[in-house]
Structure 1
Amino acid sequence: MALTYGQFLAVFVAPPLVALAVLRVRGPPRASERWSLAGVGVLLVLALVYTTPWDNYLVGRGV
């Protein structure tokens, strides 16, 4: 059975993301943690912007 791209994300990306979010919830972040979260956010946006066109190209080619 082949998964759609959305199903793949729901099965393999969402559960670890939810688990990490649950582990993260523990009160207000300290100043150093805010900078770390900001850095992770920047990397997340860059990764999405960089890889989305490539993913769409591969899906369009039927890879």
Structure 2
Amino acid sequence: MTVLTKAEALKVLRRAYGPDRAKSLAGRLPDRIDLDSDADTRLLAELGVTRDGLFDALGAEL
């Protein structure tokens, strides 16, 4: 299970998508994001964020 806090997610979003994008998403993210959860993955997709993009920014491989 891959879980990020909102602060961790915003740090990754800044790195993957830039500071402006991270700032615009900050108010729409939950306090805890489970990247293995279908609901959280759908939410990210609705916000234009991909799970793969987050993993790439983290330097991880799927």
Q: Normalization by structure 1: what TM-score?
A: 0.29
Higher relative contact order, structure no. (Cα contacts within 8 Å, ≥ 6 residues apart): 2
Bigger strand fraction? 2
Q: Normalization by structure 2: what TM-score?
A: 0.30
